[in-house]
Amino acid sequence: MLVYEFKLKGKQQQFNLIDEAIRTALFVRNSCIRYWLDNSKVGKYDLSAYCKMLAANFEWASKLNSMARQASADRAWAAISRFYDHCKKKIPGKKGFPKFKKRGHSVEYKTTGWKLSEDRKYLTLTDGFEIGRLKLVGTCDLYFYPVKDIKRVRLVKRADGYYAQFCIAVDRQIKVHPTKKIVGLDVGLNHFYTDSDGNKVENPRFLRKSEKALKRLQRRVSKKFKKGKLQSNNYKKARNKLARKHLKVSRQRKDFAVKLAKCVIQSNDVVAYENLQVRNMLKNHKLAKSISDASWYLFRCWLEYFGKVYGKITIAVAPQWTSQNCSNCGKVVTKTLSTRTHQCSHCGTVLDRDENAALNILAACLSTVGHTGISAWGENDLCLDLATGKD
């Protein structure tokens, strides 16, 4: 699955209608959650049938295309099935019980309710909202793909405008010559990662660099907020500026993760990395902000995605004792988090702590099959979730 994104150009009246369509899709999604809570043994097809009842009972809900209503029901069922799956696997902690959403940011159409122009430069929405024709602005070219291969079209609202995402059913495979190299990666906070060859990549720390500007914008929003009163236009402008700044930080993280993951995959045939549970690591409130800023999970998702595209092997190994064990003799050398140098009293090996961990990760990769899997952010999340309510 390939996802192309374009920015939409149109009139303010058209964007207001898109907002109305997004609110309607959110209503359908929340209504399906309520229907599941009030009735037992409700399945995916029951929610799809319930969408027809909503269209009959609410005239404004019938304006939304029927397949778009089904796509909203699919979102509700995705949350329900995820909850069931977590319960069956007995995942510790919260199981992710489906919740009602207060705000929606996107509406998704399947194969009807939209139409592309012959030159693929304009998108026309043909459902009951009568949004009309919108111009597509972007560097991608849809002309090379037949319309029948476009399985879903999503309209997304962000702080800097409205976007259209096209999910195209294409098996993306790129053949490259083997490099005959294998590498182990150890992610960290001082350096984004250190590989088994001793190479290091600096941690960009995008949030830390923008924190001063974010605090200034947040103070402006707080000063203009009036509790219990109708908010002014100045408050809305200040809030939009703050949202744009956060959006820029998230895009910087994604751009860095995509380019770095692609470089690593193209340079090696086998890539080993730690199977970190980032969600659990965020419970450490002293390091939570730095861990979130590093975006290790996003980097891993793109590693696995490009591994599938380029036909390379990506292996996630267990992270236990990778920092404590000596990569030369295998003896345990206990170190605190502040100890950045590995000094083995048994064999005399002196290495950087992260390089020693990367060598252990590589050794674990070679000694066991590990856990291999493809979970492409571009494939699963964009088509079913993205994000992921997530944009």
What tens digit of pLDDT does each residue of 14-46 get? 999 999 999 999 999 999 999 999 998 899 999
Contact 24, 128 (CB under 8 A): no
Residue 202's pLDDT band (boundaries 50, 70, 90)?
very high
Evaluate if residue 385 carries a pLDDT over 50: no
Q: Give 172's DSSP letter.
A: -
Residues 184-188, mean pLDDT to the nearest whole number: 91
Which one has a higher pLDDT value, 328 or 162? 162
* Stretch 123-137: mean pLDDT: 93
Please compute the mean of the pLDDT values over residues 208-224 and round it to a whole number. 95
Chosen domain end from 102, 123, 151? 102
Q: What does the radius of gyration of the chain's CA atoms come to, in whole angstroms?
A: 24
CA distances, 319 to each of 187, 275, 276, 349 (Å): 11, 6, 7, 21
Q: What is the mean pLDDT of residues 106-117?
A: 92
What is the percent of the chain where pLDDT is above 70? 94
Q: For position 325, what pLDDT does the model report? A: 86
Residue 78, in any domain of the structure: yes
Q: What was the pLDDT predicted at 132?
A: 92
pLDDT at 204 over 60: yes
- Asked whether residue 147 is domain-assigned, the answer is no
Q: Is the pLDDT of residue 241 over 60?
A: yes
71, 102, 133 - which closes a domain: 102
Sequence letter at residue 391: D
Please state the rounded mean pLDDT for residues 346-350: 83
**Does 187 fall in a domain?**
yes
Same domain, 54 and 193: no
Q: Which one, of 372, 5, 303, 35, lies nearest residue 156 by Cα?
A: 5
Domain ends where: 102, 117, 141? 102
CB half-sphere exposure, 100, CA atoms < 13 A: 10
Q: Say yes or no to pLDDT of 175 above 90.
A: no
In a domain, 305, yes or no: yes
Q: Does a structural domain hold residue 321?
A: yes
- Same domain, residue pair 326 and 201: yes
Shared domain check, 186 and 98: no
Question: Is residue 123, in this structure, part of any structural domain at all?
Answer: no
- Compute the mean pLDDT over every residue in the chain, rounded to the nearest whole number: 88
pLDDT attached to residue 384:
34
pLDDT of 212 above 60? yes
The tens digit of pLDDT for each residue in 154-166 reads 999 999 999 999 9
In this structure, the answer to whether residues 201 and 289 fall within a common structural domain is: yes
What pLDDT was estimated at residue 390? 45
pTM of the model: 0.85
Q: Within this chain, do residues 277 and 366 fall inside the same structural domain, yes or no?
A: yes
User: Is pLDDT at 329 greater than 90 in this prediction?
Assistant: no
Query: How is residue 140 written in tokens?
Result: 């991608």
CA distance linking residue 64 with residue 75, whole number of Å: 16
The confidence score (pLDDT) of residue 267 equals 92
Q: Please state, as a whole number, how many other Cβ atoms lie within 10 Å of the Cβ of residue 216.
A: 12
Residues 78 and 198 both lie in one domain:
no
- Which strand (E) or helix (H) includes residue 364? helix 353-367
Is 356 among the domain residues? yes
How far is it, in rounded angstroms, from Cα 140 to Cα 254? 18
Phi, psi at residue 120, to the nearest 5°? 60, 25
| Residue span of the structural domain in which 286 resides | 182-205+264-385
- 295-316 average pLDDT score: 92
> Are 92 and 196 within one domain?
no
The domain tally of the chain equals 2
Q: Is residue 259 part of a domain?
A: no
The side-by-side arrangement of strands in the sheet containing 182-187 is: 200-202, 191-195, 182-187, 270-274, 313-317
Residue 370: per-residue pLDDT: 44
Q: Give the pLDDT of residue 250.
A: 95
pLDDT for the residue 380: 40
Strand runs labelled E in the chain? 2-9, 106-109, 114-116, 122-125, 132-137, 150-158, 161-168, 182-187, 191-195, 200-202, 270-274, 313-317, 341-343, 350-352
Residue 190 and residue 320 share a domain: yes
CA angle at 365 for the pair 199 and 351, rounded to the nearest 5°: 40
Confidence label for 178 from pLDDT (cuts 50, 70 and 90):
confident
* pLDDT of res. 35: 95
List all residues 6 or more positions away from 202 whose beta carbon is below 8 Å from its beta carbon.
191, 192
Q: Which of 40-54, 99-113, 367-381 has the lowest mean pLDDT?
A: 367-381
Q: With a cut of 50, say whether residue 337 has pLDDT above it.
A: yes
pLDDT digits (tens, 9 = 90+) for 191-200: 999 998 889 9
Question: Stretch 331-344: mean pLDDT, rounded?
Answer: 84
Same domain? For 98 and 192 the reply is no
pLDDT at 85: 93
Phi-psi region of 33 (alpha: psi -120 to 50; beta: other; left: phi over 0): alpha
Of the pLDDT bands very low, low, confident and very high (cuts 50, 70, 90), residue 391 is very low
Q: Does 193 share its domain with 53?
A: no
What is the spatial distance between Cα 375 and Cα 380, in angstroms, rounded to a whole number?
A: 7
